[in-house]
């Protein structure tokens, strides 16, 4: 790949900034100063330093974010702040994207990566990756809702969902529940509750496949996946 692309990808600034870095003579490839932004390097083989600091190239980045309300799950938007906007510049430089969408007012687990193959594997309807949500509902959730959800419910557009596993954590004037679903239709959790005449007033995703939200992450914080988390996600363990 081109040296300017490599350096921009690992966080040495924009292509323009990287160009002047190269011009300044700070970049050494295999013990030779390289000033040409178009020069090609093999990041797996060539030894690259900037100001004597070794450049470690990684192709992929895997981040777990505790998404706060108010951000949209997109990479770019002209008007609204996205989950990518709050990443550190060196992470954003690797051009990751959110795997699936959480609504603007939904919190919780969001995987952000630039590994398209893994994203596809997790999002493919054929793979039936379970996603579990914690929600607060505006009224009393009952055993009959558990029964209804276990058979699937019919949404406002006529679509009949796959079975959902509903657990009641607290039932009363408002209820706390956990719902596990295997698909990801638009606003699915909210619409499933609307189908039984109830409303979601708070929604948070707590897991996706084998990956559970790290409760140590504050809203808006994120961290890299551990090797174990990534390995389990890749092999589809749950
Ligand atoms: N279901 C919803 O209704 N909203 C989300 O953000 C995720 C699942």
Give whole-number Cα distances, 42 to 8, 11, 33, 93, 125, in Å.
15, 17, 16, 19, 36
Would you say residue 2 has pLDDT above 90? yes
| Mutation pick for ligand 1 pocket among 98, 105, 162, 188 (CB with most ligand atoms within 8 Å) | 188
- Residue 72 beta carbon below 6 angstroms from any ligand 1 atom: no
Look over the chain and give the mean of its residue pLDDT values, rounded to a whole number. Answer: 95
Beta bridge pairs of residue 108: 67, 205
* Residue 102 CA to ligand 1 centre (angstroms): 6
* Residue 198 CA to ligand 1 centre (angstroms): 15
Residues near 172 by beta carbon (within 8 Å), at least 6 away in sequence: 140
Would you say residue 57 has pLDDT above 80? yes
Residues of the chain with CATH 3.30.70.1560: 130-208
* Residue 33 CA to ligand 1 centre (angstroms): 52
Give SS3 for 209: coil
Q: 3-54, which class in CATH? A: alpha beta
Residues of the chain with CATH 3.30.70.580: 62-125+211-235
**Range 55-75 average pLDDT:** 95
* Tokens at 191, concatenated: 């619409």
**Do 178 and 164 meet the contact criterion of CB atoms below 8 Å apart?**
no
Residue 106 alpha carbon, nearest atom of ligand 1:
6
Per-residue pLDDT tens digits for 160-218: 999 999 999 999 999 999 999 999 999 999 999 999 999 999 999 999 999 999 999 99
Strands (DSSP E) found in 86-199: 97-98, 107-113, 131-137, 165-170, 175-181
Residues of the chain with CATH 3.10.290.10: 3-54
Q: Hey, which CATH number is domain 130-208, 3.40.50.300, 3.30.565.10, 3.40.120.10, 3.30.70.1560?
A: 3.30.70.1560
Cα R_g (the chain), whole angstroms: 22
Would you say residue 238 has pLDDT above 60? no
Beta bridge pairs of residue 167: 178
**Could you tell me if residue 93 is left (phi over 0), alpha (psi between -120 and 50 degrees) or otherwise beta?**
alpha
Give the Cα separation of 123 and 129 in Å (integer).
Answer: 7
Per-residue pLDDT tens digits for 109-119: 999 999 999 99
pTM to 2 decimal places = 0.87
The arrangement of secondary structure in 62-125+211-235, i.e. its CATH architecture, is 2-Layer Sandwich (3.30)
- Residue 110 beta carbon below 6 angstroms from any ligand 1 atom: no
Would you say residue 237 has pLDDT above 90? no
């Amino acid at each position: 790949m081109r040296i300017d692309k490599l350096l921009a990808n690992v966080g040495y600034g924009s292509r323009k900034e990287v160009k002047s870095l190269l011009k300044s003579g700070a970049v050494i490839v295999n013990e030779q100063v390289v000033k040409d932004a178009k020069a090609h390097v093999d990041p797996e083989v060539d030894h690259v330093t900037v100001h004597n600091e070794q450049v470690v190239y990684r192709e992929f980045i895997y981040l777990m974010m505790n998404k706060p309300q108010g951000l949209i799950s997109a990479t770019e938007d002209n008007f609204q702040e996205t989950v990518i906007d709050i990443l550190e510049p060196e992470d954003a430089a690797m051009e990751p994207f959110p795997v699936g969408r959480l609504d603007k007012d939904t919190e919780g687990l969001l995987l952000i990566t630039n590994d398209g193959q893994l994203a596809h594997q997790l999002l493919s309807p054929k793979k039936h990756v379970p996603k579990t949500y914690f929600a607060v509902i505006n009224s009393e959730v009952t055993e009959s809702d558990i029964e209804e959800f276990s058979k699937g419910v019919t949404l406002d557009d006529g679509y009949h969902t796959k079975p959902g596993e509903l657990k009641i954590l607290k039932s009363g004037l408002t209820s706390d529940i956990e719902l596990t679903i295997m698909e990801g239709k638009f606003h699915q959790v909210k619409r499933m509750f609307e189908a039984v005449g109830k409303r979601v007033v708070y929604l948070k995703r707590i897991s996706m496949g084998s990956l559970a939200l790290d409760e140590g992450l504050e809203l808006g914080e994120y961290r890299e996946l551990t090797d174990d988390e990534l390995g389990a996600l890749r092999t589809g363990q749950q």
